[in-house]
């Protein structure tokens, strides 16, 4: 039987690549739509409304006023607009499905969802930790910071989006597929007690056991589960069109299985899929993979 998820879906694109080191993911929302997303959702049985794209301008220089964070002003503006849009969609009783864009957009997505789900569990698929701050980031790229921001750490302009309070609890946050963590990230993750299932755990125990445990953590006493899926969590064999490829990632079926199991919980309240870069892709393969993954998360069932 198909899992019961909010039947009314709003697709929100965020055409931004300012948070990333490689340009091109601003074209991700268009690539995912072109790969058949709307048709997929409608075939599953959803009533879908395309909310269009939030657009980003590119300033002449990446760093302003001596701040190390690149394009801080514009990324703050875009995420504030996204936060408001996600909150509006949820106030209307609809499910927000956000398409990136680079992973900095998770700041706005989570801030918007947190307006309605005060105790949110998160399952975060990513090769990286994304928990740097201005002080620890080697690059100043904000797509490496959304987890820190959502925990309440980092630049105040980012942490105050949607309100100054911490958006997420570290003990209800789970990583899947990590294999490239900075030393400072490893330190803070241990200090906060965040659950991290690296590729070692996935190889050793298998996806069924790992995602089962992740669901337990993210749903324990929470108001629902948000899924943030960076396509670089997959092995580049299945997702070549992403800017920070790391060998040895999830297989195509492991990704789909994990999302199918999350769908079965019927606790999913929001989702985002990010870091699809059609400029460096192969025949839109990564966007097509994203559409397949979204179908699995939204309860596409063969029988």
| Residues 177-195 pLDDT 10s | 999 999 999 999 999 999 9
Question: The sheet that has 47-55: what strands, in order across it?
Answer: 47-55, 8-15, 95-100, 268-274, 225-230, 121-125, 173-178, 195-198
Give a three-class secondary structure readout of 233-293: HECCCCCCCCCCCCCCCECHHHHHHHHHHHHHHCCEEEEEEECCCHHHCCCCHHHHHHHHH
Residue 106 makes CB contacts below 8 A (sequence gap 6+) with 130, 146, 147, 150, 228, 272, 274
The pLDDT score that the predictor gives to residue 62 is 83
Nearest Cα to Cα of residue 19 among 67, 76, 80: 76
The pLDDT of 85-90, averaged and rounded, is: 98
pLDDT tens-digit readout, 231-257: 999 999 999 999 999 999 999 999 999
pLDDT tens-digit readout, 35-51: 999 999 999 999 999 99
Active site residues: 103, 126, 128, 130, 143, 230, 232, 275
The pLDDT score that the predictor gives to residue 191 is 97
pLDDT confidence tier of residue 65, bands split at 50, 70 and 90:
low
pTM equals 0.97
The pLDDT score that the predictor gives to residue 127 is 98
Helices 252-265 and 285-297: crossing angle, nearest 10°?
30
Average pLDDT, the chain: 96
Residue 86, pLDDT > 90, answer yes
Token representation of residue 219:
């749903």
Residue 217, pLDDT > 90, answer yes
The Cα–Cα gap between 20 and 31 comes to 17
> All domains of the chain, ordered by start, with CATH?
8-297 (3.40.800.10)
pLDDT confidence tier of residue 4, bands split at 50, 70 and 90:
confident
């Amino acid at each position: 039987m198909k899992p019961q998820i909010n039947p009314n879906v709003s697709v929100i694109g965020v055409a931004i690549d300012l948070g990333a080191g490689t340009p091109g993911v601003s074209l991700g929302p268009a690539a995912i739509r072109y790969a058949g997303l709307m048709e997929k959702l409608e075939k599953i049985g959803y009533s879908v409304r395309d909310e269009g794209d939030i657009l980003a301008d590119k300033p002449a220089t990446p760093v302003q006023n001596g701040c190390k964070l690149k394009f801080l002003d514009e990324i703050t503006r875009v995420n504030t607009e996204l936060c408001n849009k996600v909150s509006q969609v949820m106030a209307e009783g609809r499910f927000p499905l956000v398409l990136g864009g680079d992973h900095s957009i998770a700041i706005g997505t989570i801030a918007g969802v947190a307006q309605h789900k005060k105790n949110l569990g998160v399952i975060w698929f990513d090769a990286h930790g994304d928990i740097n701050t201005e002080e620890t980031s080697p690059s100043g790229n904000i797509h490496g910071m959304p987890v820190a921001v959502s925990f309440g750490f980092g630049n105040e302009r980012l942490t105050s989006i949607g309100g100054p309070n911490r958006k997420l609890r570290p003990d209800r946050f789970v990583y899947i597929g990590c294999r490239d963590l900075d030393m400072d990230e490893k330190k803070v993750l241990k200090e906060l007690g965040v659950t991290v299932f690296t590729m070692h755990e996935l190889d050793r125990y298998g996806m069924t056991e790992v995602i089962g445990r992740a669901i337990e953590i993210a749903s324990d006493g929470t108001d629902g589960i948000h899924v943030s899926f960076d396509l670089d969590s997959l092995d580049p064999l299945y997702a070549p069109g992403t800017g920070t490829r790391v060998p040895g990632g999830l297989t195509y079926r492991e990704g789909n299985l994990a999302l199918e199991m999350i769908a079965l919980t019927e606790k999913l309240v929001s989702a985002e899929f990010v870091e699809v870069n059609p400029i460096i892709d192969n025949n839109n393969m990564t966007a097509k993979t994203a559409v397949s993954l979204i179908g699995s998360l939204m309860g596409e069932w063969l029988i």
